[in-house]
Amino acid sequence: MTVKYFKGDLFKLTNETTSSPLLLAHSCNCIGIWGGGIAKQFKINYFNSYKLYNKYCQIVSNPNDLLGKSLLLSTDENVIIVCLFTSIIGEENELEIVHNTKLSLIDLYNKLKDPQLIEDKKVRNIIINYNNEINMDISKYIVNMPLINSGIFGVSWGLTEKELIESELNCHVYKL
């Protein structure tokens, strides 16, 4: 679908009011660490959500099972954090990470379309209510993100961008 670019810090969005639920997405490893890059900022800003993510990763016996999946986390604010599990811990090659990105975007789309798949109860209710408002038109959602995969995961942006364009989601990309 569409990819639009904006200049600046992703977190500045949290000062604005939006008509749709505020989704802030980032690529995550599958071992429960938000240790560097923008993930570290998520950990500082939303520590309770970090604990949910960490616990979720610990419960899974094999981190491979998370690859290509998404996880929606509630926050204490009006923000939903979207984790895209695109790499276990950054050791895969670019094409593998990009493939996992494609799958995790499909998983996110499916969760928005069918909120019963959403693990977090608070998020599930927000999505159910908004879906009623928009008559299940998932194109009304905006997935806000930085240049995912292009920092610590080392993937050329063009490869990730192609997957965003080919996905069924509208993405807004914030570029520092």
Ligand X SMILES: Nc1ncnc2c1ncn2[C@@H]1O[C@H](COP(=O)(O)OP(=O)(O)OC[C@H]2O[C@H](OP(=O)(O)O)[C@H](O)[C@@H]2O)[C@@H](O)[C@H]1O
Q: Closest CB to ligand X among 34 and 141?
A: 34
Write down the least CB distance from residue 96 to ligand X, Å. 14
- CA distances to 112, 134, 160 from 71, rounded to whole Å, are 11, 22, 19
Question: Residues in the site for ligand X, rule: CB under 6 A?
Answer: 9-11, 27-29, 33-39, 41, 146-153, 174, 176
Q: For residue 72, which phi and psi values (nearest 5 degrees)?
A: -100, 125
Among 42, 109, 134, 117, smallest CA distance to 79 is for 42
Q: Closest CB to ligand X among 48 and 129?
A: 48
Write down the least CB distance from residue 101 to ligand X, Å. 9
Q: Closest CB to ligand X among 1 and 152?
A: 152
The 3-state secondary structure of 62-97, one letter per residue = CHHHHCCCEEEEECCCCEEEEEEECCCCCCCCHHHH
Write down the least CB distance from residue 44 to ligand X, Å. 11
**Measured distance CA(112)–CA(129) in Å, rounded:** 11
Write down the least CB distance from residue 134 to ligand X, Å. 27
Q: Closest CB to ligand X among 94 and 168?
A: 94
